[in-house]
């Protein structure tokens, strides 16, 4: 069953690959321009008003590009794995009974709780990482603030599948199989987590935190021995975190100054 699923997915992936890559390039370019705009604008600059039609169009374009980019990472992982002789889809328990797969997914859901608790604790500590919080609130959160629940769900699900297939399914599993040493699993785990952190570089703090999350997800993958667990953890965390930060939290408090912060430089 797992082999049939892998073959059918490959047939679906190959024709879509050029479009996914094209959407991904536009998405990365859009993110880069947003970061440059926010970091380079003087504080006194008054943003130009956009028409409701333009704002709606921008929101739809961002949602589509974000989904295509995240899903494209998974397609890239499968294509790269095919070229390297390692199939990241083999790390998914397609051939397991439904009851066992449900238990694996339950493990993934439970594993998201410590990450979400950590997020809430960080949110309630205004003097910790305040510069990091300001950067996230000015650069990252505005992209997601106007998205609907359906759009956030789609992007979070694609991120869970795409990023985990690439970093845990291909990099970590592929390296572990290639090294085939007593401690090869540890080197593969750390390498995949470091790449995960570097690819999430917004600043040094963000990269360090992302690397820690990468180690956590990689450890969960080793513990459960099924990529479905970190996929569920990743997707569920992204979904709840985006909802929390854009609709519940007031991150960061406006009263903080740079002298109050505890930051990783």
Mind spelling out the 3-state secondary structure of 53-110?
A: HHHHHHHHHHHHHHHHHHHHHHHHHHHHHHHHCCCHHHHCCCCCCHHHHHHHHHHHHH
CB 233 within 8 A of CB 112: yes
Q: Which residues of the chain have pLDDT under 50?
A: 1-23, 25-26, 28, 35, 38-39, 41-47, 255-265
pLDDT of res. 135: 83
Beta partners for 262? Answer: 128
Residue among 46, 148, 160, 144 at smallest CA distance from 105: 160
Best CA proximity match to 122, nearest among 258, 257, 251: 251
| Whole-angstrom distance, CA of residue 95 vs CA of residue 130 | 46
Amino acid 237: pLDDT: 98
Q: Rounded CA gap, 185 and 220, in Å?
A: 13
The answer to whether 171 and 88 have CB atoms below 8 angstroms apart is: no
Q: What is the pLDDT of residue 17?
A: 47
Dihedral class, residue 125 (left if φ above 0, else alpha if ψ from -120 to 50, else beta): beta
| pLDDT recorded at residue 36 | 52
Whole-angstrom CA distances from 242 to 74, 118, 166, 215, 238 are 21, 14, 22, 21, 6
Listed by start position, the domains of the chain span: 2-260
pTM confidence score: 0.77
CB atoms under 10 Å from CB of 152, counted, come to 20
């Amino acid at each position: 069953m797992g082999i049939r699923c892998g073959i059918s997915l490959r047939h679906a992936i190959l024709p879509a690959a050029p479009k996914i890559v094209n959407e991904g390039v536009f998405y990365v370019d859009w993110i880069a321009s947003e970061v440059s705009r926010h970091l380079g604008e003087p504080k006194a600059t008054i943003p130009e008003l956009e028409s409701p039609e333009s704002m709606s169009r921008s929101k739809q374009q961002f949602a589509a590009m974000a989904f295509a980019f995240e899903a494209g990472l998974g397609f890239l992982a499968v294509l790269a794995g095919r070229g390297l002789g390692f199939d990241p889809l083999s790390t998914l328990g397609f051939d397991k009974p439904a009851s066992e797969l449900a238990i694996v997914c339950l493990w993934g859901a439970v594993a998201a709780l410590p990450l979400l608790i950590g997020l809430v604790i960080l949110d309630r500590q205004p003097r910790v990482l305040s510069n990091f919080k300001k950067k996230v609130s000015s650069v990252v959160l505005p992209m997601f603030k106007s998205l609907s629940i359906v759009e956030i769900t789609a992007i979070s699900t694609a991120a869970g599948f795409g990023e985990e297939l690439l970093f845990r399914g291909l990099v970590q599993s592929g390296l572990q199989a290639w090294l085939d040493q007593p401690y090869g699993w540890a080197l593969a785990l750390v390498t995949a987590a470091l790449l995960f952190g570097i690819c999430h570089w917004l600043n040094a703090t963000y990269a360090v935190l992302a690397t820690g999350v990468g180690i956590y997800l990689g450890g969960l993958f080793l513990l459960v021995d099924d990529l479905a667990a970190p996929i569920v953890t990743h997707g569920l965390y992204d979904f709840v975190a985006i909802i929390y930060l854009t609709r519940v939290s007031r991150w960061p408090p406006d009263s903080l100054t740079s002298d109050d912060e505890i930051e990783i430089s």
